[in-house]
Amino acid sequence: MSPEAVLVKKLVYGGYGLAEDKNRTLFIEYALPGELVEVEKLKEKKDYTIAKIKRVILPSSERRDPPCPYYGSCGGCQLQHASYGLQIRAKEEILLETIRRIGKVEVKGLDGSIYGEEFGYRVKVQFKVSGGKLGFFERKSHRLVEIEECLVAHPAINGLIPALKELSKRVKGLKEIHVLYSPSDDEFLIKLLSEEPMGREKFKKLMDDVLPVNVCGVGFYYMGQKVYLKGRDFTFFLIGPYRYRVSMDSFIQVNYMLWERFVKGAVPEDRYRKVLELHCGIGFFSLFLSEKSEHVQAYDSNRSAIKDAEYNARLNKVANVSFGHLTSQEALKKHGGDIFDLIFLDPPRSGLSSGEAKLILANKPRDIVYVSCEPSTLARDLKVLVKGGYRLKSLLMVDNFPNTYHMEAIAKLSLE
């Protein structure tokens, strides 16, 4: 296809620059608002076209040379070519526009944004392995880009990469290496995901030979199941006044630099009698919610996370939180007749199911806090909740993933 010059209007979700060409919408990789770019069309869809830049004719003053040498081939980051200030402003605009367009909710503006350092923030990284090499996949591809370091990863994880490369060469069938690093305890948990089995003695010897002593635990997973464990299957994190245990198969927010500010933005100042928390994980928000409540009843569908959460409540001597292993829909059905002052939600990208939304509306809590990692499903769910009698009181953008298009949001609602 022949190159064409277009003016980029704005950044949209996915990290694309949006432009119009002959009444057709273009989504352009690595383009910035206000730029005049010559593009080559890559893929024609029914309602839009994906394109790439052939030449930047008029660059934005916010364009920068990406700090990472792998940027543009590695698919992990999508916004390193934009100044960090522009990234924040673009995400704020995308969140607002999504709430208005999909949610049909009138919101004047955000009540603020939470953000910090743009590099070195990730304490959990999932490396890909292919052909004995370690790295990340190309954008929308399964071709591996081999790397020596990752700028968004914690420096300690980068320091471990030479050992991980050695494992990649020596473990047959290895597909992924998941690394979790605890800054407070300076130790690592590692998960090895393999498509080929390995003998127990070979596994133990290899781990002893290759990995440093501050790797406190290694799990070997074959066909999705944990087969061997060397050392512990958990580590600890300090978040504010609390110490949390996190196991290999549990989840923790990856941006450790924002943990305390994230909690402060999400946990309301008001005091509550009874709180229902859904998708509670390891109790990340639960322990802080307990400070504002007579009792918190919290649930998650991940059994490993619930075991950690129960341990974390005991460890921190928090007696007014109870945890249960149920899906959010099961939990809402179980407590159908109970009265809650607050329902606190932190669902996956898919958001709430229609059944969950209906059960929340039937329960009629005074307040709802909705922590979201996907603007479109948040907007869809807010539409249902607002139509059901709730008012959106505040909306915050949380930049948990700088240099990528991903974002989180905190929406707070009250019954009209």
Q: Is it the case that residue 2 has pLDDT exceeding 90?
A: no
| Average of per-residue pLDDT across 161-176 | 97
| Average of per-residue pLDDT across 72-81 | 96
Q: Is it the case that residue 403 has pLDDT exceeding 60?
A: yes
Interval 14-26: pLDDT, tens? 999 999 998 899 9
DSSP string, 110-177: -S-EE---SSS-BSEEEEEEETTEEEEEBTTS--EEE-S--TTB-HHHHHHHHHHHHHHHHSTTEEEE
State the Cα–Cα distance between residues 107 and 379, nearest whole angstrom.
Answer: 11
Q: Is it the case that residue 354 has pLDDT exceeding 90?
A: no
Burial class (CB in 10 A: 0-12, 13-18, 19+), 153: buried
Interval 320-338: pLDDT, tens? 999 999 999 999 999 998 9
Interval 251-274: pLDDT, tens? 999 999 999 999 999 999 999 999
Active site residue 373: yes
State the Cα–Cα distance between residues 67 and 65, nearest whole angstrom.
Answer: 6
| Average of per-residue pLDDT across 300-321 | 98
Interval 84-142: pLDDT, tens? 999 999 999 999 999 999 999 999 999 999 999 999 999 999 999 999 999 999 988 99
Rg of the chain, C-alpha, whole Å: 23
Which backbone phi and psi does 88 adopt, to 5 degrees?
A: -65, -50
44 neighbors 13 (Cβ within 8 angstroms): no
The pLDDT assigned to 314 comes to: 98
Domains of the chain, earliest start first: 1-62 (2.40.50.140), 92-117+257-415 (3.40.50.150), 124-235 (2.40.50.1070)
The pLDDT assigned to 347 comes to: 97
| Average of per-residue pLDDT across 160-184 | 97
pLDDT bin (cut points 50, 70, 90) of residue 348 is: very high
The pLDDT assigned to 98 comes to: 97
Q: Which SS3 state, helix, strand or coil, does residue 329 take?
A: helix
Q: Is it the case that residue 74 has pLDDT exceeding 70?
A: yes
The pLDDT assigned to 51 comes to: 94
19 neighbors 408 (Cβ within 8 angstroms): no
Q: Is it the case that residue 380 has pLDDT exceeding 50?
A: yes
The pLDDT assigned to 3 comes to: 64
The pLDDT assigned to 1 comes to: 44
Q: Which of 68, 77, 216, 373 is catalytic?
A: 373
State the Cα–Cα distance between residues 225 and 233, nearest whole angstrom.
Answer: 14
Q: Is it the case that residue 168 has pLDDT exceeding 80?
A: yes
Q: Is it the case that residue 206 has pLDDT exceeding 60?
A: yes
Interval 217-228: pLDDT, tens? 999 999 999 999
* Average pLDDT over all residues of the chain: 96
